[in-house]
Amino acid sequence: MLFYLIRRCLYAIPIALSVGLVCFMLVHIAPGDPINAIVPADAPQELVEQIRKDYGLDRPLPVQFGIWLAKVSIGDLGTSLATGRSVWSDLSVAIGNTLRLALTAALIGFVLGSVLGALAGSFQGTFIDKIAVGLAVAGVSVPHYWLGMVLVVIFSVQLPWLPAMGAGPGGSADWAWDWEHIQHLILPAVTLSVIPMGIVTRTVRGIVAEILNQEFVQTLRGKGLTGRGVFWHVVKNAAPNTIAVMGLQLGYLMGGSILVETVFSWPGTGLLLNNAIFQRDLPVLQATILVLAMFFVALNLLVDLVQTALDPRIRRG
């Protein structure tokens, strides 16, 4: 297992390199100029060239990439072209905010998805099944930025129950798990949860239905187990695959939803990426994508380990 862990950690290195390289190349292939993050377009050419030099943007691209890589390898994610602030200072705050949002959305989505999926799988073809599947299809089909705007119109504008935007009455810096702050989290978390809810519902439904048709369940029933007893066996068998799907979904949520965070002005990684893309703020863009990619890798590894712990049939290493 130890060798497996080490090997998986080493796999992260080429992934990080590739992510960094692809991101760097895409930004430079795209039309536009990173210098626009610092100077207005009406700046005289002489000044533009001077500033390009000041920021090292006049160097050959491989050199720029090499310098960035060398800094990242010692934990320096650089400085934002647009704000001059350390990328890590903004990114760490954004990651905290996105984690808060993603974990809440995951909790809502996974609990609802598991319950609905289990009900649908247990009562296939019934009215309950149709309702659960309908909700799942709606969850994955409705564009979540649209849903977010509808929720804002209903719960913030028409019924002024919940705030329409932001991460707290004084921003996210003084976040606390009290009602003043949690009310800011509800609408974006519910909006973000509908897709994982739909996907988990469908996954669990399929797995539960399949397990219920297996011979060992009939054996369990033949041995006199009913209701809760059979249910726990089904849960144990469904867990590994469900957790794999949940892990992937959590990874997507961690990536931050650019659209949902923009609709709710939630200061997470999605909003950070959105601004960085429009400003061509290369250091912020590269560092954010790199850190998110590493989160994804770590999350996958964690899911693999949890799967192994839950299901001894799965051997790693």
Partner 1 sequence: MTLRRLLLAAACAALPAAHALEASAQGTIRIGMTAADIPLTHGQPDQGFEGNRFTGIPLYDSLTAWDLTRGDRATPLVPSLATEWAVDANDKTKWIFRLRQGVKFHDGSDFNADAVVWNVRKVLDREAPHFDPRQVGVTATRMPTLRRAERIDDYTVALYTSEPDSLLPINLTNLFMASPAHWERKRAAAASAEAAWNAFAADPSGTGPFRMSRFVPRERAEYVRNDAYWGNKARAERIVLLPIPEANARTAALLSGQVDWIEAPAPDAIPQLRARGMRIESNAQPHVWPWQPCFAEGSPLADVRIRKAINLGIDREGLKTLLGGLMVPAVGTVQPGHPWWGNPSFQIKYDPEAAKRLLAEAGFGPQRPLSLKVQISASGSGQMQPLPMNEFIQQNLREIGVNVEFDVIEWNALFTNWRRGCKDPSARGAHAINVSFAAMDPFFAMVRFWDSKMAPPVSNNWGHFSDPRFDAMVAEARTSFDATARDAALAKLHAAGVDEALFIWIAHDVAPRAMSPRVRGFVQPQSWFVDLTLPYIQ
Residue ranges that bind partner 1, judged by CB under 8 A: 30-33, 36, 38-48, 50-51, 54-55, 79, 82-86, 89-90, 93-94, 149, 152-153, 156-157, 159-167, 169-173, 179-180, 183, 262-265, 267, 271-272, 274-275, 278-280
Judge contact between 253 and 195, C-beta under 8 A: no
How near is the Cβ of 143 to partner 1 at its closest, in Å?
14
Nearer Cβ to partner 1, position 31 or 224? 31
Judge contact between 184 and 166, C-beta under 8 A: yes
Judge contact between 204 and 242, C-beta under 8 A: yes
Nearer Cβ to partner 1, position 79 or 300? 79
Which among 244, 258, 151, 238 is positioned nearest to 194, based on CA atoms? 151
Nearer Cβ to partner 1, position 166 or 206? 166
Q: Angle, to 10 degrees, between the axis of helix 282-310 and the axis of helix 269-279?
A: 150
Positive or negative, the CA dihedral 193, 199, 202, 203 is negative
Nearer Cβ to partner 1, position 122 or 274? 274
How near is the Cβ of 256 to partner 1 at its closest, in Å?
13
Judge contact between 198 and 140, C-beta under 8 A: yes
C-alpha distances in Å from residue 219, one per residue of 144, 249, 295: 44, 34, 42
How near is the Cβ of 199 to partner 1 at its closest, in Å?
26
Residue 278, amino acid: F
Positive or negative, the CA dihedral 4, 7, 9, 11 is negative
Nearer Cβ to partner 1, position 156 or 300? 156
In this structure, the number of other CB atoms found within 10 A of the CB of residue 259 comes to: 17
Question: Residue 216 is encoded by which pair of tokens?
Answer: 């060992």
How near is the Cβ of 52 to partner 1 at its closest, in Å?
10
How near is the Cβ of 67 to partner 1 at its closest, in Å?
17
How near is the Cβ of 280 to partner 1 at its closest, in Å?
6
Nearer Cβ to partner 1, position 85 or 221? 85
